[in-house]
Structure 1
Amino acid sequence: MALLILLVAAFVSTLVGVSSLGYQRVLQEIWAQLTGGVSPLSEREAAILWYLRVPRVVLAGLVGAALAISGAAFQGVFRNPLADPYLLGAAAGAGLGATIVVVSAPGVAGWGISPLPLAAFVGALGGVGLSWVLSQSAGRGNSATLLLAGVAVASFLTAIQTFVQQVNIDTIQRVYEWMLGGLNTTGWQEVLLTLPYIGVTSVVLCLCARLLDVLAVGDEEAASLGIRPARVRLLVLGAASLATAAAVSVSGLIGFVGIVVPHVVRLIAGASYRVVLPLSLIGGATFLIAADEVARTILAPAELPIGVVTAFTGAPFFLLVLRMNRSRS
């Protein structure tokens, strides 16, 4: 059912845009591509479909899947339903990397490929890596220490980013637009850049689902079963952080996906991570494809940043989760 909903959302999203292609002609075009028949679309319409809309839908699916499965993994590691993929400084590091590139844009204007995704990717991994190093130097590197180190690193990197922006005040608008999130693409380049990272890390996280179920009962019980909790956490956090960094590098900061989707999955299918992780992967892709569709149409022909759409959805849900946790306690 989840896969069917995803396919429907992806197909509907390919039909939405300034140029109306019609669902029958799109279906005929897909069939023509599969069978080698004659395309019912003009050259311009075919270019819009295959080089603008389809790559954007695929990219939205990849980013949503990465953020949702990473959120579920973070919540399993920290045993906290409000844990977020950006928890360990990934967002702050990516924001700092993107800001540095935007500020130095005149110096890299001649590059054939924009360095902004690479800088955001490196910054996100750097933020997570710094949080890990600090947690190890502060003690045993347990989840509580790692969480505190992530908060400290995120605050520090955000302060540096704010300072750089204030020194280069003319770049604030562009940095702000990037931080609100977006999926603008002119082809398959962004998809090809992120697919290997998100694909591999998603497989790793799904393979760790049983281990997360065991960790949920406690470290002592897990150790008695022959599992090393510290190594499992390192593997899961590393994979989730890499997936988050890959997503952030091409989409900017899109919040709440990693909180909303895993919670909805738990309400529908239960709390076992053998179910939560794969369904979060599919549900995250569906959620962000639908959110991108809203972002492209609600103010057409203008486009609303997708981060605003997810915030409108996620903020009330976040408050609902807080209320539910309070009532249980």
Structure 2
Amino acid sequence: MNKTNCILVFLLIISVVLSIFTGSVNIGDINNMQAFTIMLDVRLPRALMAVLTGAALAMSGAVFQIILKNPMADSFTLGMANGAVLGAAVTVVTVIPAAFAPVLSIVLGLVSLLAVLLIARKLDLTYRPETLIITGILLGALLSGVLYIIILIFPEDTANIARYMFGSLGGADFSRVSVLLILTSAAFIILERCGRVLDLLKLGDIRAHALGVNVSVIRPALLITASVPPLVAISYTGIIALVGIIIPQIILYVKPMAFRPLLKRSVLIGGLYILIIDTLGRTLIAPLQIPTGVMVMLSAVPLFMFLLYKRILVNAR
């Protein structure tokens, strides 16, 4: 592990500790048993969920951008996040147990991704980035419309569904953390081992195939591998947008690098970013809590605009 990653790991550990001791309830004003319960059962799983969610979103964004050759590709701009939220919302308004929310989110999220790729392919054989993103955003808007209809039909469940729309880590517990940890770790290991393949895919399909990569098989396999952790995270937290875009792109803006170091740094910075944002959201105007998804949008949109501006400048040269 290089020096920068070691520093990021240290900052991540310190941030988790500070997050556990920070909140609307002052630990010093309550007895030791209550303080221990709040820190262990409420704040610790929330902090770990924030780290894993940020890591999953940033990791998937780094993979999508390489495979789809699109620097603006992530689960939100490809419509996957809206599909995942719709899957989770179905468990709220039907008799399907909430435990199946991750499964429905994965299925609808992958179906959304497939629909975007197929529609974009019909519209533009070259898969131009703007065609892919416009298609993803339009499909996401369509799925959001379906979600609004569900809210109209089941008004008594509006509060639960709204949590998915704005993105919140308030429901974190150790069982959810465990599921996300296993899936994110497994995906990370697979993607890290495929680092050379992803570097070859940057060269284009023809050159990658000439160098021994079975593009038609490896591309969908890596897309699915990178999709599962963020879709499960979204099924628990709701929509947390743009993380998969801004983290990898800012890293590459500072220093171009191969996929393996990019993957590791994206995971660390993504986890640190969501943890800090979530901690600020629940403490800035305590006891009121600003949803994590809202806090991310407030901080990420200026960064997103900066990346767009830089990309336009590069293309204009």
TM-score category (smaller protein): 0.7 to 0.9
TM-score w.r.t. length of structure 2: 0.85
Which residue in 2 is equivalent to 1:132?
Answer: 114
Which residue in 2 is equivalent to 1:60?
Answer: 50
Rounded Cα–Cα distance in structure 2 between residues aligned with 1:129 and 1:185: 26
Q: Which amino acid aligns with 2:17?
A: F
| 202-211 vs 116-125, which moves further | 116-125
Q: Number of matched residues?
A: 302
Rounded Cα–Cα distance in structure 2 between residues aligned with 1:116 and 1:88: 25
Rounded Cα–Cα distance in structure 1 between residues aligned with 2:66 and 2:126: 11
Q: Does 1:300 align with 2:283?
A: no
Rounded Cα–Cα distance in structure 2 between residues aligned with 1:256 and 1:246: 17
**C-alpha displacement of 1:295:** 0.7
CA RMSD of aligned residues (A): 2.8
Given candidates 118, 139, 143, the residue that maps to 2:100 is 118
**C-alpha displacement of 1:76:** 0.9
Given candidates 49, 73, 76, the residue that maps to 2:66 is 76
Q: How does 1:225-244 map to 2 (within 5 A)?
A: 225-244=211-230
- 1:218-248 per-residue CA deviation (whole Å, 9 max, x = no partner) reads 1111111111222221121101111111111
Contact kept? 1:179, 1:253, Cα under 8 Å: yes
**C-alpha displacement of 1:102:** 2.9
- 1:115-171 per-residue CA deviation (whole Å, 9 max, x = no partner) reads 4463254134323136437857978xx883994875675455334323322333443
Which residue in 2 is equivalent to 1:144?
Answer: 127
- In structure 2, relative to structure 1, the CA distance for the partners of 1:183 and 1:135 (3 Å cut) is closer
Rounded Cα–Cα distance in structure 1 between residues aligned with 2:289 and 2:159: 16
Which residue in 1 is equivalent to 2:174?
Answer: 188
- In structure 2, relative to structure 1, the CA distance for the partners of 1:310 and 1:143 (3 Å cut) is farther
Rounded Cα–Cα distance in structure 2 between residues aligned with 1:322 and 1:147: 16
**C-alpha displacement of 1:66:** 0.2
Query: What secondary structure, in the 3-state scheme, does the structure 2 residue paired with 1:144 have?
Result: coil
Identity fraction in percent: 28
Q: Does 1:255 align with 2:226?
A: no
Rounded Cα–Cα distance in structure 2 between residues aligned with 1:19 and 1:169: 32
- In structure 2, relative to structure 1, the CA distance for the partners of 1:155 and 1:292 (3 Å cut) is closer
Q: Does 1:13 align with 2:14?
A: no
| 8-17 vs 268-277, which moves further | 268-277
- In structure 2, relative to structure 1, the CA distance for the partners of 1:300 and 1:133 (3 Å cut) is closer
Query: What secondary structure, in the 3-state scheme, does the structure 1 residue paired with 2:282 have?
Result: helix
Contact kept? 1:93, 1:120, Cα under 8 Å: no
Rounded Cα–Cα distance in structure 1 between residues aligned with 2:112 and 2:177: 28
Which residue in 2 is equivalent to 1:29?
Answer: none
Unpaired stretches in structure 1, ≥5 consecutive residues = 23-40, 109-114
Q: Which amino acid aligns with 2:204?
A: G
| 296-305 vs 227-236, which moves further | 227-236
Which residue in 1 is equivalent to 2:76?
Answer: 86
Q: Does 1:99 align with 2:105?
A: no
**C-alpha displacement of 1:284:** 0.7
Contact kept? 2:55, 2:268, Cα under 8 Å: yes
Unpaired stretches in structure 2, ≥5 consecutive residues = 1-6
TM-score w.r.t. length of structure 1: 0.82
Rounded Cα–Cα distance in structure 1 between residues aligned with 2:92 and 2:49: 22
Rounded Cα–Cα distance in structure 2 between residues aligned with 1:324 and 1:117: 43
Which residue in 2 is equivalent to 1:3?
Answer: 9
- In structure 2, relative to structure 1, the CA distance for the partners of 1:132 and 1:235 (3 Å cut) is same
- In structure 2, relative to structure 1, the CA distance for the partners of 1:252 and 1:184 (3 Å cut) is same
